[in-house]
Amino acid sequence: MPIPMIKKLAVIGVGLIGGSLARALREGGHVGEVVGFGRSLGNLETAADLGVIDRAEVSVAATVRDADMIVVAVPVGCMESIFSQLATSMMDGAVVTDVGSVKRGVVAMARTALGVRCSAFVPGHPIAGTEHTGVSASKADLFEHHRIILTPEDDTDVAAVARVRAMWQAAGGDVVSMSVAEHDDILAVCSHLPHVLAYMLVDLLIRRDDHKTTFDLAAGGFRDFTRIASSDPTMWHDICLGNRDALVKVLKDYQQNLDDLLSAIDRGDGQWLMDTFTRAKRARDTYIVKHQN
């Protein structure tokens, strides 16, 4: 039997992302043992029944004992407390990574909580997911051909970065590196903004007196646009507050765009509408062709 890349994987938060990573590594034979920790016993029992983890533990300390790779896959708002517990319980030589959708806040939490052990922490974010949550929604091929962003800091241990990179590549991901600031600015535009817009569109509709008829008549376009409004509110609450500066900036840009649209429609400026919609359609069509997989 070849020695697996990871002897013991500790997954803190065995949900969609943590569960999918565990599945991918197990299916590929890259991990010896997978131990999970979470909030509710029910989800961990399901994870064990599905074969995503070998066993669950009742504390962070017990979960990470002897683990050479620790993946923190809880909502961003709970990470600080997890990092604090890791600081006193992870073994020397262990590598810690996270999957949080924002990086500035997570890195700050890790610095404070992990202290001298922070060089073993490799911030990460898989650009893959769905609007569903929990281990039942996890799947082994979730990360295949998807970008995985790592945002190591100057003092991050290069060997730790190499191990996290190798782990994600084994799970099928295409790993790229960038700075924390670049990550948060880009994700604010291409991920965080669409999610909050989807929530706000649905919220606008439900506050109307005629919302029952409106929902009855809503068709595929509404369904496509609002799919991500079915995402977990806790996760998106944490992301909005965790990437506050970048999101406020991009929301102001969007507000300006909406003001431009409103005034073009109000003054009957068909040329503005045609130019803007044509430019947007061309850009989206190109994006779709380029990213068909």
Question: Any idea how long the chain is?
Answer: 293
Pairing of strands 124-126, 147-150: antiparallel
Shortest Cβ distance from residue 81 to ligand NAP (Å)? 7
Contacting residue, 52, 53, 56, 76, with ligand NAP by CB under 6 A: 76
Contacting residue, 70, 74, 198, 229, with ligand NAP by CB under 6 A: 74
Contacting residue, 64, 100, 114, 150, with ligand NAP by CB under 6 A: 100
Site residues for ligand NAP, window 112-131 (CB under 6 A)? 125-126, 129-130
Rg of the Cα atoms in the chain:
21
Q: Is 117 exposed, middle or buried (0-12, 13-18, 19+ CB in 10 A)?
A: middle
Site residues for ligand NAP, window 231-250 (CB under 6 A)? 232, 235
Using the rule CB under 6 A, give the single segment among 72-80, 170-178, 206-214, 252-260 that binds ligand NAP. 72-80
32 lies in the binding site for ligand NAP (CB under 6 A): no
Using the rule CB under 6 A, give the single segment among 3-11, 12-20, 112-120, 157-165 that binds ligand NAP. 12-20
39 lies in the binding site for ligand NAP (CB under 6 A): yes
133 lies in the binding site for ligand NAP (CB under 6 A): yes
Are 25 and 19 contacting, i.e. CB atoms less than 8 angstroms apart? no
227 lies in the binding site for ligand NAP (CB under 6 A): no
Q: Which is nearer to ligand NAP, 16 or 24 (CB)?
A: 16
Contacting residue, 78, 193, 261, 264, with ligand NAP by CB under 6 A: 78
Q: Which is nearer to ligand NAP, 136 or 214 (CB)?
A: 136
Shortest Cβ distance from residue 129 to ligand NAP (Å)? 2
Site residues for ligand NAP, window 141-200 (CB under 6 A)? none
> What are all long-range contacts of 106-114, with beta carbons under 8 Å and residues at least 24 apart?
106/76, 106/79, 106/242, 107/151, 107/153, 107/180, 109/79, 109/80, 109/83, 110/79, 110/83, 112/80, 112/83, 113/80, 113/83, 113/84, 113/86, 113/87, 114/83, 114/86, 114/87
Which of 27, 290, 5 minimizes the C-alpha distance to 172? 27
> What are all long-range contacts of 194-198, with beta carbons under 8 Å and residues at least 24 apart?
194/228, 195/228, 195/229, 195/231, 195/236, 195/239, 196/236, 196/240, 196/247, 196/251, 197/254, 198/225, 198/226, 198/227, 198/228, 198/229
Are 228 and 131 contacting, i.e. CB atoms less than 8 angstroms apart? yes
Q: Which is nearer to ligand NAP, 111 or 146 (CB)?
A: 146
DSSP-derived 3-state class of residue 3: coil
Pairwise CA distance, residues 53 & 67, whole Å: 14
38 lies in the binding site for ligand NAP (CB under 6 A): yes
99 lies in the binding site for ligand NAP (CB under 6 A): yes
75 lies in the binding site for ligand NAP (CB under 6 A): yes
14 lies in the binding site for ligand NAP (CB under 6 A): yes
Q: Which is nearer to ligand NAP, 58 or 280 (CB)?
A: 58
Q: Which is nearer to ligand NAP, 211 or 227 (CB)?
A: 227
Chain contacts with ligand NAP (rule: CB under 6 A): 13-18, 38-40, 43, 73-76, 78, 99-101, 125-126, 129-130, 133-134, 232, 235
